Amino acid sequence: MENIKLITQDEIKKVLDMKTAMEAVDMVYAEQGSGRVLMPAKITLDTGETNDWPPYGGSYNAMPAYVGGDVDISGIKWVWGFNDNRAKGLPYIGGIIILNEPRTGEVLAVMDGSYITDVRTGASAGVAVKYLAKKDSSVAAVIGAGAQGRMVARALKEVCSLTELRIADLYPESAEKYAREMGEELGLAVRPFQSNEEACLGADVIVTCTTAHAVLVRREWVKKGCTVISLGSFPELDERIPEECDMLVVDSWAQNSHRGELKILVHEGKITDGDVDAELPEIAAGKKPGRQSDDQIICACIIGMGSTDIGTAGALYRKAFAGDDSVLTCSLRKSRGK
């Protein structure tokens, strides 16, 4: 146990940028779509986020996974989110990741999981846009100006030729700060909106990333050819969007069937697995197609999978902290069939 590496958030930030995260997430999706990932659905410990007791307003998720290929790593993420953290000056989400040697179970590293959670969430949206959005997508709307909303902006910059990024948030001052800071960082025109409707109308890509249990995007605001992405475990879309879209994509049906955007629709029998056109890993692995026409309205429900956390953390560990610089590059080359 004396050889366990303790890896801090500052150390991770120095070596994990959005481009690297998107490559890692894309690789994990391809491995998963090819049957080289083991991942039980996440387990939730609810301490008052949706239950009455205990009254702490939060929940924890345990997210184990094994990712094969060249990364070849096992691990688990223990992640939490608390509703009142904003008022306490704390981030809503926090977490740690434990990586294990898959042949012996020995612990290789204990890593900060908060930053990896945020960056891989944004990266997941970026990879979804890569496969599902129109090639000429130039206007994007992000609903939610928090840490993950910023990561989404960085990911969209990697895959889209954006001329305008729109931001809307429950707190107008947060949207204005986001627009000012992200505009400067990305060199983009970033416009704050007080109305979700105004932000969404005419957008090629719409991404929600909040902790709201509310309809943030209505069907009539979504134009033909738009890609609508709901990130995380909260229902944020008009139910007509997943019900009426031309293509419905999830990251994992096992998770989407009992939590997140589709939970209520599944419970009410309005959506079944037969309504899902593809899981994103199937598209990344080339087993199913992504967008097939510019007129399609595509809805992607991405809850977040432990495999992307463990795969991203594992590739980063092997490349930056264990001295194996070839792991991420080789894994990407293999997953893309080169």
The helix or strand, by DSSP H or E, that contains position 182, with its residue range, turns out to be: helix 172-186
Amino acid residing at 159: V
Report the distance separating Cα 8 and Cα 324, nearest Å: 19
Q: Is the dihedral of CA 268, 274, 278, 280 positive or negative?
A: positive
294: which 2 tokens?
């510019």
Report the distance separating Cα 26 and Cα 128, nearest Å: 9
Ordered strands of the 227-231 beta sheet: 190-193, 164-168, 139-143, 205-208, 227-231, 298-302, 247-250, 278-279
Given a contact cutoff of 8 angstroms between Cβ atoms, the answer to whether 303 and 233 are in contact is yes
Rg from Cα positions in the chain: 19
- Name the 3-class secondary structure at 86: helix
130 carries an active-site annotation: no
Cis peptide before 54 (omega within 30 of 0): yes
Q: Which of 42, 77, 263, 319 is catalytic?
A: 77
The helix or strand, by DSSP H or E, that contains position 248, with its residue range, turns out to be: strand 247-250
Smallest Cα–Cα separation from 110: which of 76, 135, 140? 76
Task: Using the structure block, give the residue that is written with the tokens 């026409």.
Answer: 293
Task: Using the structure block, give the residue that is written with the tokens 């206007």.
Answer: 139
Which residues are tagged catalytic?
77
